[in-house]
Chain A
């Protein structure tokens, strides 16, 4: 196969840094090849992608050494669905690609229609982009790239900001595209499920910006499991095995592991059922109607959240999960019905008392920060309440240690990494040992390692009695940690109970976009087999 792009002894340094981001990279990519670049954050994998796609040094300044041969025409898809568009409507955005290529106006309509069809954007061409969901935006981004008729497509974590269902769809779409047109593709990704099985080659980088190894995906996964774990890459749940293998051979190592997990879940579900519904409730709602602006999004909710539980709220985008979370602590107005917080009507709580009892972690932690250093950020509430400086200090230091932020205490909160920002934002919400912690998609957009670090701390807090309510799309998280899962759909609560029962009987809530964790998939054939 002919080589389409290559680099020899490539090194890159940004002008404001001392060390090189990339060190002596040798790489050659052939026509039609699908390549996946993996590595820890700071390993320069995005930089490598930028060099191969010609963004560096053409549009981003950097010192580049080595020999590079680029493909004549390429397209790059980025992770943030919001910051790759410049127009207001779908058709104009695709046309922008065509305008840049000097395509005559008369040919544009047909070409726009063609690429929209190709990416499965089955909407009116003049739809405003801001009304699209994240998954649809990424489809649009792909349509805009296809309109460039690129020889190589580059993907810089294209699904990092998508929920699992949209991620699966995008990967499927890309897989089809790769198969049908033999498109050359280069990926940087953290999530391997859905893409690694159809890659031709995996390239592994280390934190110093050098290439450790490259090779066949299956071989790489097995040989470099430890390195990948260290790098915070989400381990594939199935690959390199295939589902047929696992399903047909109960002695298969993965099958055994899944069986084991399943049995654990079953046991703990039984325990929980026997414990019954005793204990006090943090939140009780009666015929609660909540909404956003003029619209009512959830109606007639009767929910009881026992104290000390870990509750997951799941549902499609726009189903009112975040609105519900905000309504619990008066950030959104209640339209009708009653809401009791610790057995007292919510509206009777003063702001000060309420927020000493309940904390809220926003999806974008930056919006919550009100001071200039990490230390002050945690200490803020105590100082506001005129605690003695010793007490402020003692409590703050304790939280800094608990959340692994001691060494950053004098930094500006904005300079932290996303994972650290999230941890800081949780820490600021625990200065008063709040008994209820609300989190809006706390693991969203994070790699496996930083997610695990946050979850570990939440678990410790739950063990001490804190009630945790989180909105999430991650069903593995729900399965592993939540005591209760509440499913929102079209204005109603359609499930409220233990995750185990939801995942073992997904049909009970109808056809819904909930992908149960892998071990539950074993149940189906098991049943079928017993029938035979």
Chain B
């Protein structure tokens, strides 16, 4: 059983875990997003970009734990759906942003054939999620009307924020979760056990 490199089929507990973690992220975003627009009004899109990474953290967290194709995209969309369901914010547009950011984050893991899950790919997914987000804004909110410098600067800052607050923070959070033992039955810990002691798992077969 453990010879397969990537498990394509999702187990039920992985499905529910993905949704619940995304929902938890979505609930935390709600707290953040009430602060978001007032800050943006004051410091402009460039300054507000510093906190961007928090918004896309669901993707790297879930992908890092589950390690399956689609995890990053689904997590971000489900997290965005929380805003839709609580009816408190931008509803359908939040869902669309989620799709764009999720696709961005997903690409990072796809590039490495869903085989590499480390700080580098997590940060890359944060950065690409930022690209997805900016792309949506260009299409929907007419970022094109900003000066090119503002646009570029926003993109760069959001990418950096996505790398640090998205990818980096996701790694810290998941490592902390690993220590509490709740992830023992999931892919991330299985991969570690496989690495640690090669006989530990094979004995079950």
Contact = CB atoms under 8 A, between A and B. Distances in A.
A415 B200 contact: no
Nearest to B179: A412
B181 interface: yes
Contacts of B200: 15
A415 B181 contact: yes
Interface residues of B, number: 15
A63 B203 contact: yes
B203 A415 contact: no
Contact of A16 (B13, B176, B179, B189): B189
Interface string A58-87: 011101000000000000000000000000
Contacts of A15: 190, 193, 200-201, 204
Contacts of B185: 60-61
A415 B201 contact: no
Contacts of A60: 185
Interface in A38-63: 59-61, 63
B189 A414 contact: no
Contacts of A16: 184, 189, 193
A409 to B, nearest CB: 16
B180 interface: yes
Nearest to A366: B180
A415 B181 CA distance: 7
Nearest to A413: B180
Grouping DSSP codes into helix (H, G, I), strand (E, B) and loop, the A interface class, with mixed when no group exceeds half, is: loop
Contacts of A412: 176, 179-180
Contacts of B201: 15
B4 to A, nearest CB: 15
Nearest to B200: A15
B119 to A, nearest CB: 20
A80 to B, nearest CB: 14
Interface band, chain A: 10 to 19
Contact of A415 (B12, B180, B190, B204): B180
Contacts, number: 24
Given A15-B201, A16-B184, A63-B204, A415 B193 contact: no
Nearest to A415: B180
A358 B176 CA distance: 31
Interface in A364-418: 372, 412, 414-415
B91 to A, nearest CB: 19
B13 to A, nearest CB: 8
Nearest to B180: A414
Contacts of B204: 15, 61, 63
Contacts of B184: 14, 16
Interface string B184-205: 1100011001000000110110
Nearest to B201: A15
Contacts of B190: 15
Nearest to A416: B180
A415 B177 CA distance: 10
Nearest to A61: B185
B186 to A, nearest CB: 11
Contacts of A63: 203-204
Nearest to B1: A61
Nearest to B184: A16
B187 to A, nearest CB: 12
Contacts of B13: 59
Nearest to A17: B184
A414 B178 CA distance: 11
Contacts of B181: 415
Quick one: which of A59, A372, A414 has the most chain B CB within 10 A? Answer: A414
B34 to A, nearest CB: 18
A364 to B, nearest CB: 15
A421 to B, nearest CB: 12
B204 to A, nearest CB: 5
Nearest to A63: B204
A61 B193 CA distance: 14
A60 B203 CA distance: 16
B181 to A, nearest CB: 6
B46 to A, nearest CB: 33
A15 B203 CA distance: 9
A61 B180 CA distance: 19
A412 B182 CA distance: 13
Nearest to B203: A63
A99 to B, nearest CB: 15
A343 B13 CA distance: 54
A14 B184 CA distance: 10
19 contacts: A14-B184, A15-B190, A15-B200, A15-B201, A16-B184, A16-B189, A16-B193, A59-B12, A60-B185, A61-B185, A61-B204, A63-B203, A63-B204, A412-B176, A412-B180, A414-B180, A415-B179, A415-B180, A415-B181
Interface of A: 14-16, 59-61, 63, 372, 412, 414-415
Listed from nearest, the 4 A-B pairs whose CB atoms lie closest are A414-B180, A63-B204, A16-B184, A412-B179
Interface of B: 12-13, 176, 179-181, 184-185, 189-190, 193, 200-201, 203-204
Given A16-B193, A61-B185, A415-B181, 5 more contacts: A16-B184, A59-B13, A63-B203, A372-B176, A412-B176
